[in-house]
């Protein structure tokens, strides 16, 4: 029983740590926008109004730590418009309109597709696995004694 209490305490501490680590790492990610199944990194480089082309989209959602679907950003840019830059391929660079200024966003690469398994399911599965493992160990020790 003493080992079970220790294991339960350890699992609770580990779970709290794992849930908080993503939030801590979120501040180290670069500013990014997802559009046309590509990730674009936002820069502080302004783009002249004369080279701004047609509007190609709009940022609809904020997602941390990184955008996973088109129309998402990890910055507070919801409602910002996306534009093409004349003479440049939209596969390489786009412009993001923020407060009446246009900022360059260069391609990082493809959007990383991940599974949509909620964190609580992973945590609960881990706790159940450790609990089952503990019960098996306790059962085997009692069986040897008796």
Burial environment of residue 47 by CB neighbours within 10 A (0 to 12, 13 to 18, 19 or more): buried
Q: Are residues 70 and 122 in the same domain?
A: no
User: Are residue 38 and residue 106 in the same domain, yes or no?
Assistant: yes
Same structural domain, 83 and 35: yes
Give the domain range for residue 7.
Answer: 1-28+115-146
Q: Are 103 and 44 contacting, i.e. CB atoms less than 8 angstroms apart? A: yes
| pTM for the predicted model, two decimal places | 0.60
Nearest to 46 by CA among 89, 85, 88, 92: 85
Q: Are residues 45 and 110 in the same domain?
A: yes
For residue 37, how many C-alpha atoms fall within 13 Å in the half-sphere facing its CB?
A: 1
Spell out, as residue ranges, where the chain has pLDDT lower than 70. Answer: 1-8, 11, 14-27, 113-117, 145-146
Residues 105 and 125 in one domain: no
Instruction: Clarify whether residues 60 and 10 are in a common domain.
Output: no
- For 144, the enclosing helix (H) or strand (E) is helix 119-145
Query: Are 17 and 54 found together in one domain?
Result: no
Say if residue 119 is in the same domain as residue 83: no
Type and span of the H or E element at 26: helix 2-26
- Domain check: are 18 and 37 in the same one? no
Domain co-membership, 145 together with 80? no
Q: What pLDDT does 66 receive? A: 85
Q: Do 94 and 51 touch, CB atoms closer than 8 A? A: no
**Same structural domain, 62 and 45:** yes
Please check whether residues 125 and 86 belong to one and the same domain.
no
Name the domain count of the chain.
2
Strand order across the 93-98 sheet: 52-58, 81-85, 93-98, 101-110, 38-46, 32-35, 72-73, 61-62
């Amino acid at each position: 029983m003493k080992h079970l209490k220790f294991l339960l305490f350890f699992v609770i501490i580990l779970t709290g740590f794992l849930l908080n680590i993503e939030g801590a790492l979120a501040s180290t990610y670069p500013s990014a926008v997802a559009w046309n199944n590509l990730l674009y990194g936002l820069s502080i480089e302004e783009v002249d109004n004369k080279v701004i082309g047609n509007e190609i989209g709009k940022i609809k959602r904020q997602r941390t730590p990184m955008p996973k679907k088109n129309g998402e950003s990890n910055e507070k840019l919801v409602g910002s418009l996306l534009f093409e830059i004349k003479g440049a391929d939209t596969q390489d660079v786009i412009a993001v309109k923020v407060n009446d200024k246009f900022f360059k966003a260069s391609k990082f690469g493809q959007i990383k597709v991940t599974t949509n398994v909620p964190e609580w399911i992973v945590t609960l599965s881990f706790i159940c696995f450790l609990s089952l493992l503990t019960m098996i160990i306790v059962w085997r020790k009692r069986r040897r004694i008796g």
